[in-house]
Structure 1
Amino acid sequence: MSSKSKVHESHFDYKMDPKFRVSVPVEWRPETEETPIRLQLSKEHDLPVIKVYGEAEFDLKFEQVEQSNLTPAKKQQIVGHLRMMSKKASVSSQGKLTVPKDWSERVGLKADGPVILAGRGPFYMLCTQETFERITEIELGMDDGDLGVL
């Protein structure tokens, strides 16, 4: 990661506004309103979420695919999927991230409804309270001491 990469940690309970905008914590905001970010429709533990990456962190995903031992066809499939399931976005000068309505609804978020912003290191995710609770249960219940440091 570059020296300007942010580490997203903790989680925040917010509310989606009627226009499907959500406030982003100050420490998670890009340097300027013109600094693009990437939204990715994704899953955590098979639960629907929207992941939010800085441009550099998102580009790193493509570098990792390119450097992998996968066949060229599999690499192209993964890159195509990443492109198909992502959108450029920005955070306004007021600190609001506009999330596409169809993507919000696809992961269970509603206008004027609650939304959790959860830090995951190089990215953060948007999800419902129920999804956040389920992810937490899954991760705290991992076997083999996966999270024994908690």
Structure 2
Amino acid sequence: MSSSARIHESHFDYKMDPKYRVSVPVEWRPVSEETPIRLQLSKEHDLPVIKVFSEEEFDLKFQQVEKSDLTPAKKQQIVGHLRMMSKKATVSSQGKLTIPKDWSERIGLKADGPVILAGRGPFYMLSTQETFERITDIELGMDDGDLGVL
């Protein structure tokens, strides 16, 4: 793990502002306003979320695909999907991350509405309160016995 890699822990209840911006906890912010991050429209347990990666962590996804035993066609498909479902972003000097309005609405977030930022180790995710609770229930074994030991 490089010296710039961060571990994102815990979760935070915030409110999206009218311009689809959300505050990012100080310990999760990039080193500077110029440091790009990567947003990825994704799913956790088949529930819609937006994942937020450092550029370094996002690049690791491509290295993992390249090192895999998948066929070249499947690798190209996965890489294409990752590129298609991601956008570069930055966190402002005030600690605000702007989320594209269409992406926010796609996962159920609303302007002036609640948003959960949840640490997932090398990345964090944004979700609605309902999605966060559902993911938590699944991972605590309420829906899946495999994780019941948590």
Which TM-score applies when normalising by structure 1? Answer: 0.97
- Once residues 148 and 28 of structure 2 are traced to their aligned partners in structure 1, the CA distance between those partners, rounded to angstroms, is 25
Partner residue, 1:97: 97
1:14 corresponds to 2:2: no
Partner residue, 2:81: 81
Q: CA RMSD in A?
A: 0.8
Instruction: Specify every segment of 5 or more residues in structure 1 that has no aligned partner in the other structure, as ranges.
Output: none
Q: Which runs of 4+ in 1 moved over 2 A?
A: none
Q: CA deviation at 1:115?
A: 0.0
Deviates more, 1:54-63 or 1:134-143: 134-143
Opposite residue 80 of structure 2, the aligned amino acid is: G
How many residues are aligned here? Answer: 148
SS of equivalent residue, structure 1 residue 117: strand
Partner residue, 1:123: 123
Opposite residue 114 of structure 1, the aligned amino acid is: P
Q: CA deviation at 1:3?
A: 2.1
Which TM-score applies when normalising by structure 2? Answer: 0.97
How do 1:27-46 residues align onto structure 2 when only pairs under 5 Å count?
A: 27-46=27-46
Identity of matched residues, %: 84
Instruction: Specify every segment of 5 or more residues in structure 2 that has no aligned partner in the other structure, as ranges.
Output: none
- Once residues 3 and 48 of structure 1 are traced to their aligned partners in structure 2, the CA distance between those partners, rounded to angstroms, is 31
Q: CA deviation at 1:4?
A: 1.2
Q: CA deviation at 1:143?
A: 1.7
